[in-house]
Structure 1
Amino acid sequence: MMGISSMRQRYFILSAAISAVLANAPGALLAQSVVTRNVTPLSVSTPEAPRVTQTITNANVVTIQKTHPAFVAQATSSAPLADTATMNHLQLVLKPSASRTAAMESLISNQHNPTSAQFHQWLTPQQFGDSFGVVDSDIAAVTSWLTAQGFVVNYVYPNKAQIDFTGTAAQVSQAFHTRENIYTIGSEKHLANAGDISVPTALRPVIEGVMGLSDVHPTALHTKSKSQVAKWSKSENGFVSNTSTNSMVGSKSIGQAMPFTNGMRGLVPNDMVTMYGIRTIRNNGVVGKGITIAVVESGDMVPTDWSNFVSQFNLAQYGGTFNLINPAPSSGANNCNDPSVATFGESDETILDAEWATAIAPGANIEVASCSDYNADQSGPSSTNFFGGVFIAATNLINANTRPDIISASYGFGEFFVDSSSKTAIDLMWAQADAEGISVFVSTGDSGSNPSFNGGIIYSTGQGNAAVDANAFATSPHDTGVGGTDLADILDGTTSQYFAPTPSVVGGSALSYVPEIPWNTSCGNGVAATSLGYSSAVAFCLDLMKHDPRGNYQTSEAGSGGPSSVDAKPAWQRQIYNAANDQSRDLPDVSLFAGSYGGYTSVILCTANYPCTPDWSTPVELVEGTSLSAPMFAGIQALVDQGIAARGLPADQGNAAPTLYALAAEEYGGAIGTPPASLSTCNANNGAAGTSSCVFHNVTRGSNSTQCEEFISPLVALPNCYIYGQGAESPYTVLGLTTSDASPTTYGPSNKAFGAQPGWSFTSGLGSVNATNLLIAWRAFVHAPAATVAP
C-alpha cells in the first residue's frame, strides 16, 4: 500500500497536472481520429488433469446446497408443472477448479497493474475457456450424461463454463432429483424447483448447478411507479406533471424545497455535460468516437426514439450510431428471442439506457443487445434463468467473436433471493468480461439498503432475509457498481447559484457542478428532514405518520448500497479511506445523478408514445432511478477509452473499479494514516469552485436509510429494521428505518443503513466524477504518451 506521505505527494502532482493540462486543453486533450484496438493477448498456460475420474451413475448422487430459491416459502399454494412442459435453454453452470480460478484472478490482477507485463493484455473467449474453463474431456463427460438423460445439448460456450440445454419438466425432475412446481406468490404464479438439486457424485467436481429452474426475474432499476408524463410550461419555467404534486409534507411547508410549484425540473444532456465536467473534453473531440457501448436488455425500443433524442438535443453532429441486435450464440440453437415492440411493447428501461449513454458519449456506437424473457408467441419463458433475457444477452455478447468495449446493465435483485448457481454464473460472466477488456457497469438498485424492493417497501419474507442486502448482479469484483445521487440545491435553497433563472430546455440550465447528496425519497432522508425543520429523520417520519395514517408516504426508493454476503472484498477496495471494516465486496463503487427527493428533478426521455418536439409542445416522459446512473457512467468510460486510445494505447480498460479506487486513494487517502487535505477539498458540498481540480466529488451528507416494515400478526421480524411506530390504519404492521444493526434499539448516525461519510461509503461509494479530470488522471495512471501536435 502506498505510504501516506507518498500519496499526498502523488495527489499534489496529480492536481498540478490537471491544472497544467486544463491550461493547455486544446493541444493536451485533443482526441485523434484512430482508436487503437486490443493488442495481441499473452498466452496463459494452465494445464490440468481431468476431474471426472469415476464412473458416472445416477444411483450415486450428491445434493448441491442452496440451489433451491428461498422465495418459494412465501407461496400460498403450489401445483406440479406438467411433465411434458418444455424447459427451454437451461444453463448448466460448470465449476472451474480452484487452481484455475486462482490463475484467472492472478491474470486479471496483472491486467490492471501498470507495472506488469500482462497489463491490458486481454484474452479472447476461446483463450479464456482454454485457460480457465473446464477441460474438454470433462465437458465431454457432462454433455454425454445430459444427452443420456434425454436432454438436447444446444451449445457449449467458448468459455467452457456453461452449457445451454433443453428438456422437459419430467427429464429435469428425474435427472436432478427435484420437482418443478408452479407456486402462487401474492397474485402471481411462478415456476421453481421444490428442493435443492442433486447430480451424480462423479460429476460434482465440475458441476456448480443449473440456471433456469426458476422463472422469477428482477425488475428494471428505474422508478416505474414514479415515472411521470409532463409538459413544458413557459409560465412555470419547468415541466408541469400530469400528477399533482403536494406542496406540503407532514405539517410543514417545503417552501424553497419545491421552487417549481406543481412543476418539475427535467434535466437534459447538456445539464449532465456541465455538472460532470464533460464540456472541456467534448469541445476537444472526446465524444466516445469508435467505442461501442452495449446496453443489455430484456425489452426493445423503437429505433426512431434514439434518433428523436439525438436530434432534439443536437447530438447528431458527434457521429454516434445506434444498432438494435439480438445476440445469438455463434453456433447451435439460438437462445435469444427478439422481444419485439410489436409483440411485447416498448421498454422504458431500454430507452433510458440507450438515450442517456448517448447523452454522455454522443460519438459512441450504441448497441441495444436484447433477448426476451418469453417465447415469441408468449406461450412461456424462452429461458427461465433468474436474470432471463438480460443474462442471455450479456453472456452471448461476452462469448462472441466481436465484442463491445463497454456493457451497461440496469437490472438487479438482492443476493438473498438469487440461487447459488445463478450467482456463480453471473460472477464468472463478469470475470470473463474483465479478462477480455470489457468494462461492465451495473446499477446497484433503487430501494436503499436492500435492492429487491424497487417500487415498494422493504419487508420480511419470513425466511431469514434482512433489510440489508446487495444486488447479486453487481457484487462481482469484476464489475463497477453504480449508485445514485440527488442534487442538493433544492433542499439547500441554492438553486439560483447552480441553475440559470430561465431554463433553456435544449441547451440545459445547469451553470456548474451541483453539490450532491444520496438519492433518497423516503422520510429517512436526513437532509430533507433538516431542511424542513425537523430534529431528525425519525421525527420527520413520525410527523408524516401522524398526518398520513393511510401510509401513502411510505417508500424505500433510494440509491442502493450494501455488503455482499457471497463475494469477498477485493484488494483494491480495501485501499481507500473509510473502506468498510468487513470482508465483503461492498456497493456502490461510484455514483451519478439518479433522482430527487419529492420527485422534482428527473431526466427527459423521448419515447414513441411521448416523442420530443422542437418546441416542447407535446408531453414528454420524466424518469428517475439508478438505471440512469449506470449507462451514464458507461458513457463516461467511453470518453476515457477514446481519450486513452488517442495516445496510441489500447482503448479497452477492463473493469474500471480498480483504477477508480487507485485514483480516489490519491485524493481521499488510504485505509490507514492521516488523509490528505484534498479529502476536504474534494467534498461535494464545496460545489464547483472547491472541486474544480478534483477527479471525484465526495458525497458526505445524507443517507440511503429508508423505511422498512415488520408484520406483527403473526410476528415476522425483519433484521436491520428500527421500529419507530405503527400507522393508525396498519394494525398488522409496524414501521421502521433501516439500520446496520441486526437488532437495533436506537437509530442514529452510527447505525443508520447507511450514512454518507468522507471517503468511501455505502451510500455513494467514491462519489461522482469530473470526467475531464478523470481522463487526465487515467492517462497518467496508464502512462499514456504526451499529446501529439493537433492535426
Structure 2
Amino acid sequence: MMASDGSGGGRRQGFTEIGGSACTLPGGATCEGPLPADHPVAVSIYLKPKSTDPAGSGDPFERRASLHRADIDALCAHASDHGLTVLEADPARRLVRLSGTAAQISEAFDTRLEAWSHDGHRFHANSRPLGVPDALHGVVESVLGLDTRAIAHSRIVRPRRSQPAGIEPNKLAQLYDFPSGATGSGVTVALIELGGGFRASDNNAAFKAMGLRPPTVLAVSVDGATNTPGGDADGEVALDIQVVGGVAPGARIAVYFAPNTDAGFADAISQAVHDRTNKPSVISISWGSAESSWSNQSVTTMNSVLADAAAAGVSVFAASGDSLATDGVDDGAAHVDFPASSPSAIGCGGTFLSLSGGAIARETVWNDDTGNGGGQDGGGTGGGISDLFPVPPFQQNANLPPSVNGGRKGRGVPDVAGNAAPGSGYAVVVDGQKQVVGGTSAVAPLWAGLTALINGRAAKPVGFLPDFLYAQPASAGLTVPITQGNNKPEGSSIGYDAGPGWNACTGLGRPNGQKLFDALTGSTGAIS
C-alpha cells in the first residue's frame, strides 16, 4: 500500500485536520491528475457519538437526535457557505449527506481530489487528509465517500471442481435442530448488500423447492443504489435471502442496497438500524475485507454505527471471510476480516459438514487447503486475532490465544460458526439456475434467521448475543464446539488450530438450535 501525499503545503487557516482521514492507496496505483473541478461528488459526514444519552420517556431516537441537532445545524451552515447541497440531515443517525462539485467539496474540507487508476479500475480519492472548520473540530467523526474504490467483497464461494448435491437451507436448520414450530413471524431481518439484486422468480423457485411459501422481500435504496439483478453479486443476494427465508419463513426480509464504498456501507447499516418503517431487529452482513484495507476514519465510523445497532437492541451478524487466516492478504501475516472483527458485530466462521444417513456424522473447520471442505478447492474460514481492537469485555474469560503476528492480545474472531464449505454447500437458485454455493456469507444469514425465530417468541429482541453466549457455561450446550481442523493455508504456519472452548476458527461453535431458542425465550421444549 502507498500513502497519499498529506503535506499539501499545510492546513488552511481556520481549519483543523480530521484524524485518520489520510487515504492509503494500493501499490501500483497511477494518478491521472486532479479530479475535474465540476465533477459531481457526494459525501457522508458522521458526527462523533455523545458520551451520554439523555434519560427520559418517549422515542429513544428522538432523545438521541436532541444531542446532535445543534451540531448538525452548524455543519449544514458550513455546507451552505460553500454552495453544497444537503441531501440528508438526520440528527438521530449523526449523519449529514452532502453533494457538490469536486472544487466545492475540496474547498469545504480543505483537501485535494485526484483521479486514479489501478488494475483496470478508475476511482477518485483525496490526496491529503481532510480538514474541518475549527468550530467543528471535535464534532466531526468522519467524512466518507471521497475514496470511491470498492471497500468490501462478498463472502460467497462457489465449488471449483465437481458440483456437490447441496443442502437446502431449511434442511440445514433441521440438522442444527432449529425449533420446528417457530417461523419468525412479526420480525424483520435486514440484509446489507453492496451490489447485485434479486428476482421474484428466483425466490419463488427456491422456496418451492424447499416446500415453503416465499417470504415478503423488500428492496430498500441507500444513497441511490437499487435492486439491480444481472451481475456477479446476485449469488450473494440470493444466498442471503434464501437462507434467512428457509430458516425463518415467517420473517420479513428488507434488503438494503448500497454503493460499495465506505460511505455506502456505513450508511446502509445506519439506515437499517434507524428504519422506523421496517424496524429490523436483526442485520446480516455477508461483505467485508481485511482490516488493513480500511482507513482509520472508516473503521471508526463503521464501529460507531455498529455500536448504535447494539445500543438499539439490533443483532448484527457479519461473515468472517473465506481466505483462511491470511484473509487473502499476501504479506506473510495473519489478518481478520472487518466488520466481523468489530467489537459490536457478531463474527461468523465456517465449518464443513459430513453427513451420513441424513444426519451430521462429523463437523470440522472448513479448510479446503487441507481437504476439510469436501475437496472443492474453495478457500476456508477466516478467523484470528484483531490487529486493531483490544480484547472486548465479553471475551475477557474466553482464553484467547496470542496473535500469530507477534503475540498481540486482541479481539478474537469469529464468535460463532456454521456450515460454510462449498463441499457441503447450500442449494440456491440464482438468475434462474440451481446452484450450490458456500462461504461464511451463508453463516451470517443462518444465525440471523435463528435470531429472528428467537425474537419472534422472546419478550424482547436478544440484541448483542455475545454478551449472553460468552457468559454461559459449556455444559449449557447452547453451541456445539468444533474442535478439529485449522485455518492455516497449505504449507504455512500462519493461522490457528481448533480445540475445546473458543477457538480462532469457529469461535464458540455452531448453533444448537432448540437449546439456544429455549434459553432465550424461556421455552421448555419444541413448540407446536
TM-score for both structures, normalised by structure 1: 0.60
Q: Does 1:767 align with 2:518?
A: no
Separation of aligned partners in 1, 2:121 and 2:305: 30
Separation of aligned partners in 2, 1:159 and 1:580: 39
Equivalent AA in structure 1 for residue 301 of structure 2: A
Structure 2, gaps ≥5 residues long = 1-10
Separation of aligned partners in 1, 2:468 and 2:37: 51
Query: Identity over the aligned pairs, expressed in percent?
Result: 26
Separation of aligned partners in 1, 2:84 and 2:424: 52
Separation of aligned partners in 1, 2:151 and 2:182: 35
Which of 353, 356, 381 is the equivalent residue of 1:499? 356
Separation of aligned partners in 1, 2:21 and 2:134: 16
Q: Does 1:627 align with 2:441?
A: yes
Give 3-state SS (helix, strand or coil) of 1:321's partner: coil
Change in Cα spacing, 1:124 to 1:350, as seen in structure 2 (3 Å) is farther
Q: Tell me, yes or no, if the aligned pair for 1:439 and 1:655 is still in contact at 8 Å.
A: yes
The alignment's C-alpha RMSD in Å is 3.1
Q: Which residue of 2 aligns with 1:177?
A: 110
Residue 165 of structure 1 deviates from its aligned partner by 0.8
Deviations 1:426-448 (A, max 9, x none): 11111111222211111111112
Q: How does 1:46-57 map to 2 (within 5 A)?
A: none
Q: How does 1:355-754 map to 2 (within 5 A)?
A: 355-373=242-260, 385-386=261-262, 388=264, 390-402=265-277, 403-451=279-327, 453=328, 458-460=329-331, 467-487=333-353, 489=354, 498-500=355-357, 510-511=358-359, 513-523=360-370, 557-578=379-400, 583-596=409-422, 600-610=423-433, 620-644=434-458, 649-650=459-460, 652-663=461-472, 666-667=473-474, 678=475, 694-706=477-489, 737=492, 739=494, 753-754=495-496
Deviations 1:223-256 (A, max 9, x none): 45xx25xxxxxxxxxxxxxx7x4xxxxxxxxxxx
Give 3-state SS (helix, strand or coil) of 2:288's partner: coil
Separation of aligned partners in 1, 2:398 and 2:390: 16
Deviations 1:85-124 (A, max 9, x none): 0012x11121234x43xx69xx9xxxxxxxxxx9xx9974
Equivalent AA in structure 1 for residue 168 of structure 2: V
Stretches (4+) displaced over 6 A: 785-788
Give 3-state SS (helix, strand or coil) of 1:459's partner: coil
Alignment size in residue pairs: 512
Q: How does 1:209-224 map to 2 (within 5 A)?
A: 209-224=142-157
Q: How does 1:25-36 map to 2 (within 5 A)?
A: none
Residue 393 of structure 1 deviates from its aligned partner by 2.8
Query: Which structure carries more helix by proportion?
Result: 1
Q: Tell me, yes or no, if the aligned pair for 1:450 and 1:562 is still in contact at 8 Å.
A: no
Change in Cα spacing, 1:423 to 1:401, as seen in structure 2 (3 Å) is same
Equivalent AA in structure 1 for residue 186 of structure 2: G
Which of 202, 216, 238 is the equivalent residue of 1:322? 216
Change in Cα spacing, 1:139 to 1:368, as seen in structure 2 (3 Å) is closer
Change in Cα spacing, 1:341 to 1:270, as seen in structure 2 (3 Å) is closer
Q: Does 1:154 align with 2:87?
A: yes
Change in Cα spacing, 1:559 to 1:91, as seen in structure 2 (3 Å) is same
Q: Bigger radius of gyration, 1 or 2?
A: 1
Residue 315 of structure 1 deviates from its aligned partner by 1.6
Q: Does 1:264 align with 2:264?
A: no
Residue 631 of structure 1 deviates from its aligned partner by 0.3
Q: Which residue of 2 aligns with 1:746?
A: none
Q: Tell me, yes or no, if the aligned pair for 1:218 and 1:387 is still in contact at 8 Å.
A: no
Residue 737 of structure 1 deviates from its aligned partner by 2.3
Q: Tell me, yes or no, if the aligned pair for 1:222 and 1:626 is still in contact at 8 Å.
A: yes
Q: Which residue of 2 aligns with 1:732?
A: none
Equivalent AA in structure 2 for residue 336 of structure 1: G
Change in Cα spacing, 1:570 to 1:345, as seen in structure 2 (3 Å) is closer
Deviations 1:410-465 (A, max 9, x none): 110122111122212211111111222211111111112243x3xxxx313xxxxx
Structure 1, gaps ≥5 residues long = 1-56, 108-117, 229-242, 246-261, 329-334, 374-384, 461-465, 490-497, 501-509, 533-552, 611-619, 668-677, 679-692, 708-735, 740-752
Separation of aligned partners in 1, 2:105 and 2:485: 49
Q: Does 1:84 align with 2:38?
A: yes
Which of 225, 239, 251 is the equivalent residue of 1:352? 239
Q: Tell me, yes or no, if the aligned pair for 1:569 and 1:584 is still in contact at 8 Å.
A: yes
Separation of aligned partners in 1, 2:26 and 2:109: 18
Equivalent AA in structure 2 for residue 290 of structure 1: G
Q: Tell me, yes or no, if the aligned pair for 1:398 and 1:432 is still in contact at 8 Å.
A: yes
Q: Tell me, yes or no, if the aligned pair for 1:327 and 1:396 is still in contact at 8 Å.
A: no
Give 3-state SS (helix, strand or coil) of 2:442's partner: helix
Query: Which structure carries more strand by proportion?
Result: 2
Q: Does 1:205 align with 2:80?
A: no
Change in Cα spacing, 1:204 to 1:564, as seen in structure 2 (3 Å) is farther
Give 3-state SS (helix, strand or coil) of 2:469's partner: helix
Change in Cα spacing, 1:346 to 1:629, as seen in structure 2 (3 Å) is closer
Separation of aligned partners in 2, 1:431 and 1:170: 34
Equivalent AA in structure 2 for residue 294 of structure 1: A
